[in-house]
Structure 1
Amino acid sequence: MGDPSEVSSDPLMCGLCHKRYNDPRILDCFHTFCCECLEKHTHNAHSKVTFPCPICHLEITIPKTGIKGLKQNYYVRAILASATYSTNCKCDTCKENEQQAHSRCLECNSNFCKPCNTRHMKANETRDHHVIELSPQEAKSITKLTHRSFCEKHKEETVYYCILCETPICKDCVTKVSEHKGHRYKNIVEGAKEKRSKVKPMIQSMHEYLPCLQDYLNELHSTKKLLADYAEETVNEIKSRCKYLQQELQKICNSLVEGVEGKLKTESNRIETHAKTIENTLRSVSTITKSAEEAINLGSDSEVVLMCQKLQNRFKHADKEIPQVGLHPAVSSNFHVGESHGSNLEEMFGSCDTTEIKLPMLPIPWGLRIALNFDVQLMYNFKVANHIDTIHAIAPLSEKEAWICHGWGTQEMNLYSREGEKLRTVKLDIQIDDILTKPNGDILVSSYDDKKIIKLDGDLKQTDFVHLDLYPGGMTYTKRNELLVCAVDSYVTTRNSRSRRMIIRISEAGKIIDMIEDDGFTAIFTAPYRLHENMLGDIVVSDREEAEVHTTTITLDGFVKNKYTGQKDYRVKKPFNPFGIVSDKHGHVLVADWSNHAIHLLDLSGQFIGFLITENYGIRGPNALALDKEGYLWIGDTKSTVWIFKYSRRVENNT
């Protein structure tokens, strides 16, 4: 048998025999192998109770009936059956065998026309069989995999999902005395939909990560070849010098060559060992993802409900299988020609030293970690304009409403419901930069054109709140009942020795308390844009400095605690470009990355956790961020679209 860690592009190929699956059996780790291959694999196993998966080495329990007792992978069997389907297939049950086959039973290995299939699915002995429907118009494509699940106790079809037990149940389980009596339950279709929504982000994250892992593996092989090329060139130089200095230098030559080749062997072996680990991880994660995708897409609702927890746990285990660090730089040899008139042969011949060759960076599967740790759900999204505009301010008014401003230079702000209904429009006599709603219902609006902040009361009556000598921008209201405002003397995102860039503290009465401009020695900001108070009472600011955009976390005393310049440990499409920023009640800091169409998630210390939301949802250029009273995240992008998400850290289930 071949090496199961070898990566194959054929999703229907067994990792042990490297042939198309024959009687495929799916393990608890969601890797699939031929039944016969598994029997051979476990024949010489030390334990007759368990065996390690040939790919990920997870211990698999052997059923009492042996390997044949392992669950058949009907999803793979369905795909294999569709691959051999012919539009000329006839029903195997009709006497004349003239009816066109409509479906195929995987247990019976028989084709059926529609009437025969109906009878087949109603018969007690075959009602739980797996049946695929095939489309004559699109040969070799599965339109549906049908499998009805029945309660072992009541022999009735499972049409409900017990929320407490996380298992499919039948009507009698709900109405009669049983272990599920009194439990909360829902329709099995709704339960399966909920479980699919939990697993699909994990599958999507793996789809995003697999190309990165494959690229990393390719770069490792390329670097290994580069090492060999350098070594070969160095060896040739050494040998050429050896001939020039005649036969008596052969001993020195051989010694140096052996040193170079020894170094090459050591480094090549190191890279090869790491590459094999990555190959095995790539194969393991790829097949897990494929098996999970097949199970979720083709499995019945009951099966999806049953396997969801296993899938979640399996993806967690897969995350631990992925290496967390790459290799330190490889060491290559260089040859230096010796002096023509050296004092000894070694000096005349030359010597070798080493040069570091940078190895590729190991990509981090951030998407999987976020998918494992957080439930993220898109609740609503809607357009605020038919043309393309940037939404630069969102200020939630209540649990389900928010003031929204779009289009730089506009004097208009609109009140929208979560569902996208425009409830009210207010036209002001100033250009709007940012909007803020205070706990008492008052609304504050900053105007960079007029260098002031105005206040709107509950009746939307306008009064001046504070006049400034600088251009005000982003605002936040603190637990101390103070207003903090980003302020600059110029909207040019570079500064000189005379530039004024700061955070201004303003009292409840509209009086300036302090200007946070430097730490006592050095200027802190270049172009502060938006800010928010985190759970510790520190202020997190997005700074739009051209040379190095970043977020800065400071105390109200001007002490800089942290600067975040974007994620450096894995490859992103474009440099970090922060705009909107908020902090939630759990201590997470969320930053809108305009260039990468993503929302960064940071902890209280400013360390990167992962990307909570990416462009896969369709967001383009996120700018404005806001959290309403229920913790829903509102995002305004550059395409006149508002996105509203519900997110929470997933509760670990240790049962």
Structure 2
Amino acid sequence: MALSKPKIPGTAQHFLECGFEDCERNCEFYCNSCHQQLCKPCRDQHLKIPENKNHEVVLYQQRRHQLPVMKCKIHPTKEIDIYCKDCNIPLCSKCSTMQEHQRHCFVDLETIYTDKFELCKKELSKIHNYFVPTSHDLQREVREDATEVKQIMDSIRTSMKAEAESLKNMVDTVLSENMEELNQIEQSLLEKLKSQEKTFDDYIAYLSDLVKEFQSYLSSTELTNFTTKLPENLKIKSIPETTKPVTPEFSSAQYNKNDVAKLLGKVFKSDRKAELRRVKPMEIPTIATSIKSTSEQTKQDKHVKSDKKQTMSLSATKVRKFRVPGVDNAFHVSLDQSHRLWISDINSNLVQTDLQGNVIQKIETSGGTQGYHTVTQNEDLIFTDYDKNVINRITQDNNITEFIKTGDWRPLSIHSSHINGDLLVGMVTDEEAKVTRYNKTGKELQSIQRDNKGQELYGEPNYITENINGDICTSDYYKGVVVVNKSGQHRFSYTGQKSKFHPYGICTDVIGHILVCDTDSKFLHLLDQDGQLLSLLLTKQQGVYNPGSVCVDDENNFYLGQYHANTLTVYKYLE
């Protein structure tokens, strides 16, 4: 029975067709002997043909690839199909009988070709799936570093100019003070000299009067004037004593270029050793029971308080549960460095408790179901006022001040960075949404609104947090989990495992994982730093019905709040 030519699948084909005669069923098997694509019925029929009984039929994925047709240069009528292992060259069957190949070891060239073909495919797969994307990621990181370097350099230039301006101002101040001192000394000396000048005016007037008197004696013809009026012991008043002015002296400063450089500060090349860029491993292991953080991650991330290896179970163990008086439910939880909690509910109540639920204080806000409060590194409470478009700050002495005015933008969510103390704020208008970065003093540093294609990144950024690598992770009710890097470039978006995914509370842990509550699936989604789902934590059987908020402490516990009850449940998932 004649065999039809095998059908080579094109890249746009949805499935492989059987190549046996006119059969159009799906291909499942492959005959390595005659290179025929076969379905199961045709395979059975193919092997029933007597001349095919020794054919090697395998699953299609295990097939050997057909050799390209290549004629032998020595025997043009023969095709090359044998490989001489001793000579390491391909041959035709007639070449193998030649004298120079006697007693040599031969193998089927098709086997060699198939092995090499598969090797090439694997290497191509590595290039396309790992090396090229990873290189693009590293290239993107280089560009981000270049942008960051420019920003740092501009900041240094600004600081240098500010230092120089400050020094100029100090020089002007000192010069002004010296001039004033000199003017006062000059005024004092001139007044003293003027007084001395008047003394001599008076003395000269006295001498003039005396001259006139003596001249009157000399011109008088009355002898009695000489005997009665002219005193015998006549004394002329001595010339008044005066002092010469003592002028001030100027001591010029002895300084050189290095002295000025010390005053202004100096730019110097850092002696820190350049760190190698972290290249993600080519084969990321599938997580079966645990994930371990590497020591390299520990060194790079200052937030990791211990260099001990940590393992993560794909299930959470309940540690304790406590009720929070003063709130009706737990829509957002903030944890400060003194291990105190701030919990807010849907009715704008915000309470501070210890880790056992004992209320420390309570305030009323205009917040709602968003992550609208956070605690700074100085343990000040920062919370947004959605109605007034302001961000308030409560210091340790309970003074409430309007910290930042957001103009036409209504602030929804806020997070205080544990890396540098910056404030990350998710905000909206009736038409737009964005994330804005402020520094500790309330100065706007960055506005993130669109991706590199100009598309809107955010719809309603209700919760916001920061990962250990500086990524800004936003829980957006309409857009899912939106993650951008510290420069504001879009890294990835996570939209859940089902058609509906409406995330609420979000946080990150000490090894870069992202925990986010899903109000549709009722699960707590656990993602890695690159947005890959690791596990769906917690179930209804564990008493979780409406996860709304989550935060992680430094002892590897996470606190879960639900919007149907005013309780917090503590779970352990890192050891």
TM-score range, shorter chain: 0.3 to 0.5
- Length-normalised TM-score, structure 2: 0.45
Higher relative contact order (CA 8 A, sep 6+): 1
- TM normalised by structure 1 equals 0.39
Structure possessing the higher radius of gyration over alpha carbons? 2
